[in-house]
Amino acid sequence: MNTIGRLFRVSVLGESHGPAVGCLIDGCPPGLALSPGTLEADLGRRRAGSLSGGSGGGAGGSAATARHEADEPEIISGVYGGKTTGTPILILFRNADTISSDYEAFRDSPRPGHADFTGKVRYRGFADPRGGGHFSGRLTVGLVAAGAVAKLLLPGCRFETRLAEVGGQPWPGPADTSRGSALDAAMAAGDSVGGVVEVRVSGLPAGLGEPFFGSVESLVSEAVFAVPGIRGIEFGDGFAAARMRGSEHNDPFVGRDGATPRNGAGGVNGGVTNGNDLVFRAAVKPTSTIAAAQSTLDFSTGKMARLEGKGRHDACIAFRAAVAIEAASAIALADLALIARSYDAASGGKA
Ligand SMILES: Cc1cc2nc3c(=O)[nH]c(=O)nc-3n(C[C@H](O)[C@H](O)[C@H](O)COP(=O)(O)O)c2cc1C
């Protein structure tokens, strides 16, 4: 079903133009300090479509959607007196800034690349189509909130997330932008671009994860692919490892704690964290809904039709996806941290 996690279980819920979106978290231990303020730093990063050290727009305008939501979390359950109770935590965000009429055309003529068609098939024609319904990037606000709660279970960890590429160019680009960026060029043409987001997690203990099913890479990937628009993920040297020699890709040990000066494995060997930083990069596709004309099938007539995207859409979703990607990884890592604690408790803490 639409839930992730073994001990720390998360569902995201809602529709883009329904009354609210949010998350439901089950399995969070009691006694953790949690208030709307705990979530604010990450929600703020997502709201602005910005990253620390990056910017959300090119010279030609903002890359982020013109939809403005306050994104004020309402913690409906699972918290009492400012502390988690251990019962399910429901966090909601009311939707306010919706213009559903922009999506009428997509009922019969699904947008290429979007989930209009698959949502209709999967939910037997009953899916809410407004604003992309349950498939909307708006749902990532719940993911970000759940990620902020997950980070409470990872107290020694530090997450550093950056946009590495936008439209095939390094980001941020060189100070001299006179030649224009791929993002600006795409926006001027009513088109969109993708991006690459890099996440680095330091402070993870060695020994999290399982060798086969439940490897750190597979659990993090499962979570990251929950972010709409992800097209790929690589850890450490990633796909470049396939073109390296063993002598280049191996990480020679220099410390008894497993420390290695280089980190080609991205912090994981055999599915288990090795004590180095967990490093992964996620490929984010270009936004599906574009103003430039595209062809699609009109399902009501069976004839090909021209489609020009209406509505308010990010020209590059990677800006706002970045914090959601980080949050998704935190959810997977929190689950692994809880599993490790239960192993330790069962073994009396003896290795
Ligand atoms: C933060 C965020 C914002 C998004 N905004 C838009 C958008 O404005 N327009 C759009 O067409 N898709 C947007 N998307 C992507 C769609 O949600 C996604 O394309 C759709 O669910 C299908 O993608 P998939 O096949 O990769 O799952 C956004 C995704 C994210 C993560």
Q: Please report, in tens digits, the pLDDT of each residue of the chain (351 residues total).
A: 789 999 999 999 999 999 999 999 999 999 999 999 999 999 999 987 643 333 333 333 356 666 677 899 999 999 999 999 999 999 999 998 767 776 777 888 899 999 999 999 999 999 998 888 999 999 999 999 999 999 999 999 999 999 999 999 999 876 666 667 999 999 999 999 999 999 999 999 999 999 999 999 999 999 999 999 999 999 999 999 999 999 999 999 998 888 899 999 999 999 999 999 999 999 999 999 999 999 999 999 999 999 887 777 889 999 999 999 999 999 999 999 999 999 888 887 655
Cβ 135 under 6 angstroms from ligand 1: yes
- Tokens representing residue 125 in the block: 């024609």
Helix or strand run (H / E) with residue 79: strand 79-80
> Which candidate, 198, 163, 166, places its Cα nearest to that of 181?
166
Of 231, 314, 320, 323, the residue with max ligand 1 atoms within 8 A of its CB, to mutate for a pocket test, comes to 314
For atom 14 of ligand 1, which residue has the closest CA? 137
Q: Which atom of ligand 1 is nearest to the CA of 230?
A: 26
* pLDDT at position 182: 94
* pLDDT at position 180: 72
> Which candidate, 199, 163, 197, places its Cα nearest to that of 58?
163
* Overall pTM > 0.85: yes
What is the rounded CA–CA span in Å between residue 250 and residue 235? 14
What is the rounded CA–CA span in Å between residue 142 and residue 139? 6
CA 198 / ligand 1 centre spacing (Å): 19
Of 21, 62, 317, 320, the residue with max ligand 1 atoms within 8 A of its CB, to mutate for a pocket test, comes to 317
Cβ 45 under 6 angstroms from ligand 1: no
Give the CA count within 13 Å in the CB-facing half-sphere of 293.
4
- Tokens representing residue 185 in the block: 């060029």
Asked if 39 and 84 touch (Cβ cutoff 8 Å), the reply is no
* pLDDT at position 43: 96
Token pair 């979390």 is found at 73
